[in-house]
Structure formats: structure tokens, C-alpha cells
Structure 1
Amino acid sequence: MLSIPVPVPYTLHLTLRITQNKFIANSVIFLLIIAIPLYYLVTTNILDDPVTWILCLLLAAGLGISCLDTISRGIRLTEDRISYGKWFFWKGLEYTRITAVRFYYRIAQRGVKLPMLELSGDTGNKITIDLGLFDTPTNLGIIYDVLNKNARHADFSNSPEAFFTDPGANALKGHMVPEPYTLPLTLRVARSTFMFWSILCLPIIAAMVYFAAIGSPPPNMVTWALVFLMIGGFSLLYLYFILPAIRLTEDKISYREHFFSKEMEYTTITAIRYYYRDSRSVWDSGPVLELSGDNGDKITMRFVNSFISPKNLPIIYDVLKKNASRAGIHKSPEEFFAHPDITAGS
């Protein structure tokens, strides 16, 4: 069993960062790898070989973003709330609003188990904290102690050792009250997701457009064509992650994922199924809401951090419960979302 020591003396406000050893290892690896593309950036003439220069620039930018993703993460504990910082965006939840705390492992690529801490609020909003960079007994003990003292509605009935050893044992659900809304309503990707992909893709697209418009075409036209293909590829990647949206009107629901849209009238919905998709890819893991129609049509809506946020589930559930009468939704949202893979209706 994992040994969680008595929390070391601490005072709030407190911000937990990645451990010193992981920070040093990440910095050394980053500096060694990024030296290669930086060398080519300095020694390569842009006009003589624009593709090589752009590839080195993209590689350096990608490595820089990866490093920032690691060193920018943090867990901030104050007297009234807990916050999780990633990509320089902080998402917080007041202790009094926390109704459930769940610890589990997410299976990443190559079977790597990533420890995750999921905090659920009374309005359906959630914070999922990747504990992989903070996974030390000291940090776990402090986090557990702060939540146990302040998150009164979460019901910590287990010891810290049992809580972190038995994933999902404390996966309780609180009151999922939807936020006030009016129809028609469009739910889009989270602001942090939009900002991240804009910061990542737009400068790269702008740089390649600049070189394509200003730079002299190289003699090899195949190389020049590759520049335009790269522009198109990054443009599609940008649109791929910012286009997903859910449109709720008085008579139908529409879901747009990537570049395609599906819609279904409430009167034709005969079944609603909720389940959790756990894949090896972090981008694909998360809650899924499946709508089935009387003509065999289906709409599968994914709720992950890179697409539509799971905090919108109570609103969608409330709209469907009021309008999709044939689906037979008689349960409360707490009961419906308490256990994945439950089908309402037939």
C-alpha cells in the first residue's frame, strides 16, 4: 500500500510545482535537443533553403511549447479554493462547491499509467488534475489534507493511503444543477483550448504565408509546393480543434465535430446513452453522450478537454429531458451520470 506521511507543516497560500529533479531533467533534455534546430536556423539561409529553415523553426517551436507545458503546470491551494494551472491558464473551484473527489489512473500511450485527481462541482463543472508531475508522498499528503478539511461535501471516508491506492473508491456525485441558459444556445470549445491552438498554429501559418509571399521561389518547384501543403496542413489542424460546437434550439440539437455537422429533432430522439471512453490517447478519453433516433440515426457527442467541456453536460441533459419526451428520461442528472454506460429509453 502507498505510504502517505503526515503532511509536512504548510501554510496557505501554497503553490505546488513540479519536483526539482523533474525540472532539471526536463530542462537538460530540452536544451540538448533544441540546440540542433537552433544551429540550423542560424547557419541556414532562408532564401536558399526555405523548407529546411521552416522545418527547423517548427521543430524548435514545438519543443519550446512542450517544455512550457511541463514547467507551467502547478496546483495552487488557498483558503477558499483549489486551482490547477496548465498552459498558463488557471482553472479554480471553491472548496464549498466541491461535491466529489475521485482518484484514478489514465492509461496513456505504451500503457503508461498517469495518476489523475478529478474534482466535481455542484454545477457539473470539473477540474481534472494530472498528478504525474506532482506525484510525491509529500504533495499527495498536503492535497488530501487540504481537501479533507475544506471540501465538506465530498465525504472523505477513506484514509489517504486507501484513497490513493483504490482508484474510484470515492467517486461520489453531487448536485448537477445547470447554469441559467436561454435557447437558442451554442456551446463551443473551451476558451483555453481555443487560445492554445491559436497560439500554436496561427503564428506558424502566418510565418509560412510570409515566406511563400515574400521569399523567392527556389528552383525546385516540388519544394515550393511542400510549403503550401504545410500551410494547408496547419490550417486544417487549427480548424480541426476549434470548430466543434453543439447548437441547442427550441426544436432540435446539432453537433459539429471537426468539419461535419449532424442534427436531430427532439421529437425523433428515442434513446440517450451516457458512457465513458477511455483510450490510449488523452485527446479521445472522456465522457460521451449518444443520441439515437427513430430512423436509426445516431449522434455521438464527445466531451473532452480538447473539444466540448464536460461542464456543459447538465445544460444539455436539462434541454433533452424537457424536450425529448420519447427518450424516457425520468432520472435526475445525478443518477443518470453516476454510472457510465446507462441507457435511458429504448
Structure 2
Amino acid sequence: MRDQRPRAHRHAVPLAVIIAVVVLPSTTEEEFVRLVSLLTGNEFQRQVCRMLADAYVDFQTVPVEGGDGGLDGLSHGLTHAYCCYGPDHTGKAALDKDLRNAIVKKFRSDLRRIFEVATKNSKLIDKPNPEIKEVLEGVSKIRAIRLVCNVFKDKSLIRRLNAEFQKCMTASALRYVAADCGLAIWGPKELANNVPLSESALFRAKHPEVCNVIDSSRAATDDPGTVDEEVFDAKFDYLARRPALAGRQKNIERAREGYRAAWTRALTLEQRLAVSVPQLHLRFEGMRANARMAANAASLRLGAGLLEPLDAATQDLTARVDEILGAGIGAEDRDEIARGEVARLIGYCDVEWREDPDDECD
């Protein structure tokens, strides 16, 4: 059988194989707190936002383009605001003076933008914030502010940040903040106590580099390379010619484009993972061979149903990803990985539903 993989990816390892190495062990809440405290910068903010998105169906991140108005995210009908900060730190039990001051300075800036105040002649005065206006005008007012930091080991932060909060509350015109708004400061432990701690959150804390690649690949617009679509399109053309499917042309085309897009995303993710975790390619190449063998075997059982090989490959790859990663990867990512791998097998000839394939699969 001729190799029908995309020309630029003849030696590529399937996505499910690459991620398979990152099996999440049994991790306690204490371990989660330790792992999250090690995250800094954007990685820490991404972890917090994904946890909040898992917990609250209406959680909304705020785009940074043009300024975020001091907000990293909102939930509860845009009434709960979240500000994140992940500074580098030593991990020692006590925070040094410089780190304490840096935390206060960062969150002071966020609070002033949310309350729309600024310093002039040592006093806080009104200063409208166009970014927060874009988000909240005519919609809601903030009733709770959560300052989330990767390190929270000093009680003085409670006093100092609440003092800043009260100053802002007194000086503000309260255009977008409710008069009864409350403040809370969360470190990793408070985050785990206040937001449901899911397997997905544990997985992301354990493997931020892999999860970051998955997230960035989903939003990528760059072309991962030419996809060899000859066999892929021939199989969907075959479906379109079937008399029994004469009224299902739109469904066939949606399926064709859906699997094509999944294949492209899988290639993009694979390329980015190859840069970040190249050792996974060789260690899990055998997993791909097993998936291809199973797909070929299912393709020999034509007769029970036209698309039985496709259904079998989808179930097989979904189960493989689920078994290897457990619940940590999340159903959305798991299903997307499986779809991309199934699309590749359609193009590689391993998933075959035609009764008389042309010579391109010989």
C-alpha cells in the first residue's frame, strides 16, 4: 500500500501518540497548590482562566489588544472580576520586601483602572477608563473582585490591598463598580478552595507546556503544510455518488470540510509539539501502528454498514486517547485529537469505505 500521508509529513507521529506520554498521576490538592505556585507570567494566568472557564459557563476572558482595562476575566454575568499576577519568586516561606511591594504595585494598578481613578498631587481623582467602558457600559456592575497571585504567604498583603481597595472605592465615581463590591485575595490554595479542582486543572498544572501548545494550535491561522488530499477527496466523492445518499449532499460536504479542518489542526499541533516535546515522537510511534492496524481491520469488514470503518476508527482513537490521558485532557481536546487522527487515516487509506478503491491505495 502506497504511503498516502501528507507529503510534508511522511514520518509524522499521530497527535494522540505524542500526547500519550503525559499521563496524569494521582495528584493531591497539596500537589496542585505546589504546581500552580511554580507557574509564572502568562502560564499562571492561563491556568487560572481555564479553571474558571471549567467552573463557570459564562466565564469571559478580556482581550489584551488595546488594553484590558485592568481585567483578566469576568464571570457571574460580568459581575465578578478577576486580576492575575504570576511573578517570579524563590518559593521561600516568607516573601521578601521587594516581592511584597511588587504584588501590591501590580494589583494597585489593576484596582485603579477598574475603579477609574488616578493619582494627582498625591490624591486620587476620577479618570475614565475607555477599556472598561467598552466591556461593561450598559450591561452590569462589578460586585466582587478577586486578586489572584501565584504566591500568597504574607498576611500584610490582606491589609495593604484592602487599604488600596477602600481608597479606590472612596474616590471612584463607581460607574462600573457596585457600591457593595467586595474584595478577596487568592493564592494557589485559595484558588483550589474556591474553584472546583478538576482533573483538567490538575493536568494543566502538571503539563503547562503541552497544554499551551494545544491552546495555541487551536487558534492558529498559519498553514502547517500541503495536505495530500487525493485519496481523502476521492472517498467523499464516492459518498456523493451513492444513490442512497442522493439527498445528503450538504451533509457529505460538511463532513468533508470538517475532517479536512481537523486534519490541518492535527498537523499544526503535531509540528508545535515536535518543537516543544520532540522525545515523544519516537517513544510512542508504536501507538500509531496499532491504530492503523485496527483501522485497516475495520475496513475489511464492509457490509454491516457503509461508514462502519469510520465509526470504528472514531471509537478506537477516542478510547485510546481517553485510556492514555484519563480525564485530564478534557473531552473537548480529546475529541478534537481523535477527529484529527481519524481524518489522517482517511487520507492515508487506512480508513476505507469504498467497495472498489482505485489504485492510489495500492
* TM bucket, shorter chain: under 0.3
Q: Which has the higher contact order (CA 8 A, sep 6+)?
A: 2
TM-score w.r.t. structure 1 length? 0.22
* Larger proportion of strand: 1
* Larger proportion of helix: 2
TM-score w.r.t. structure 2 length? 0.22
In terms of Rg, which structure is larger?
2
